[in-house]
Amino acid sequence: MQEPTSNRQSAYQIGHGFQSEDVDRDISEAMRRYMIEDLGIREDLAIDRARRELRREIPAFVIESLSDAGIRVAHADVLDLGAGLGGMSEELLIRGARVTALEPGAAWANLTKRRAARHSGQFRLIDAFGESIPLPAGSMDLIISLQVLEHVREPNKVLAEVWRVLRPGGHFLLACENYLAFREGHYQVPWFPLLPKPVAGLYLRLLGRSPKFLNDAVTYTTYPGVLRACRQLGFIRPRDEEVTARLRLKSGLKGTVVRVLDRLTRGRGPLLIDMAGNMFKFGIHELFYKPPR
């Protein structure tokens, strides 16, 4: 597939892939070199992250969290949106899902394919970008996107494609960076919210880091921006009901603020307070639901 001219971020092609006979070795080396060469992370931390990648610690935790929310992946059609090195796709196959992996970075896509080949089950790999997903409308039961949205040119287009491809009644699990936070998650350094990239580049160079990854591969995503875009599409956040009920039971000053905001915003007071409380949190981790027609 020809790369769209509007989507040339190097994050799509970063991979440092290898083709030895040992796929685990190749995955480990790809992650290690990405962490060290692109982000300037210390080697011991990079090696530890590579080990966790091989153990699929994050995918296993994510799927257990979905299970706790009553969402089962077995026999479900699941899109791994931005498959990276393939850990989530592999874990989903082990858990019995029918997996579609989207990964436009050729080196990492190859590693995802090799990981999936070790397991039985239904798997397909798509070379495409999130802004234009080549899948029919309403074809997925679950879409998982981990640390991808901040690496696309047009996050809102990706979210719109997620809405289109997801079946009514399906779920969307999203994790991405919040650039209103006081920490940058890739470089793992203190940060100032929405730090302009020219200034950020100077700051990173002072720390002995290269700003190339930031400049080429990062789009600033924010908690309120992502939440607003998802709600405008029609997504429901399941925890909104719990948040609303809990905050409306508050007494004292907080209870007064909730009641005033409710009157001013047609009942949205608790959700605005919840957003304010999460405005600067480190990372965005949300589960969304597409209501039936």
Contacts of residue 273, defined as CB under 8 A and 6 or more positions apart, other chains included, come to 247, 254, 257, 258, 261
Residue 50 and residue 136 share a domain: yes
For residue 90, tell me if it sits in a domain.
yes
- Please tell me the distance from the alpha carbon of residue 104 to that of residue 62, in angstroms, as a whole number: 23
Residue 86 and residue 25 share a domain: yes
What are the pLDDT digits (tens) for 82-125? Answer: 999 999 999 999 999 999 999 998 889 999 999 999 999 999 99
Residue 38 and residue 172 share a domain: yes
For residue 292, tell me if it sits in a domain.
no
- Asked whether residue 27 carries a pLDDT value surpassing 90, the answer given is yes
- Domain CATH code at residue 121: 3.40.50.150
Residue 122 and residue 206 share a domain: no
**284: confidence class by pLDDT, cuts 50, 70, 90:** very high
For residue 246, tell me if it sits in a domain.
no
Residue 130 and residue 100 share a domain: yes
For residue 276, tell me if it sits in a domain.
no
Contacts of residue 249, defined as CB under 8 A and 6 or more positions apart, other chains included, come to 255
Range of 87's domain? 10-176
Residue 190 and residue 162 share a domain: no
For residue 171, tell me if it sits in a domain.
yes
For residue 66, tell me if it sits in a domain.
yes
Q: Which DSSP string corresponds to 100-167?
A: EEE---HHHHHHHHHHHTTS-S-EEEE---TTS--S-TT-EEEEEEES-GGGSS-HHHHHHHHHHHEE
Number of H helices and E strands in the chain, helices first, is 12, 8
**Residue 280: its pLDDT value, please?**
95
Residue 165 and residue 20 share a domain: yes
Residue 160 and residue 22 share a domain: yes
Contacts of residue 47, defined as CB under 8 A and 6 or more positions apart, other chains included, come to 32
Query: Among residues of the chain, what percentage have pLDDT more than 70?
Result: 94
**Residue 265: its pLDDT value, please?**
76
Q: Which of 157, 176, 195 is the last residue of a domain?
A: 176
Residue 49 and residue 152 share a domain: yes
Going by their DSSP bridges, the two strands 140-146 and 189-190 should be labelled as: unpaired
Report, as an integer, the average pLDDT of 264-286.
Answer: 85
Q: Which of 160, 191, 212 is the last residue of a domain?
A: 212
Residue 160 and residue 189 share a domain: no
Q: Which of 176, 197, 224 is the last residue of a domain?
A: 176
Report, as an integer, the average pLDDT of 196-220.
Answer: 96
For residue 287, tell me if it sits in a domain.
no
What are the pLDDT digits (tens) for 55-91? Answer: 999 999 999 999 999 999 999 999 999 999 999 999 9
**275 closest CA partner among 219, 233, 234, 230:** 230
- Asked whether residue 7 carries a pLDDT value surpassing 60, the answer given is no
Residue 52 and residue 36 share a domain: yes
Number of domains in the chain: 2
Which residue type is seen at 16?
H
Residue 171 and residue 189 share a domain: no
- Please tell me the distance from the alpha carbon of residue 254 to that of residue 257, in angstroms, as a whole number: 5
For residue 266, tell me if it sits in a domain.
no
- Please tell me the distance from the alpha carbon of residue 192 to that of residue 206, in angstroms, as a whole number: 15
Both tokens of 94, joined, read: 């082990």
**6: confidence class by pLDDT, cuts 50, 70, 90:** very low
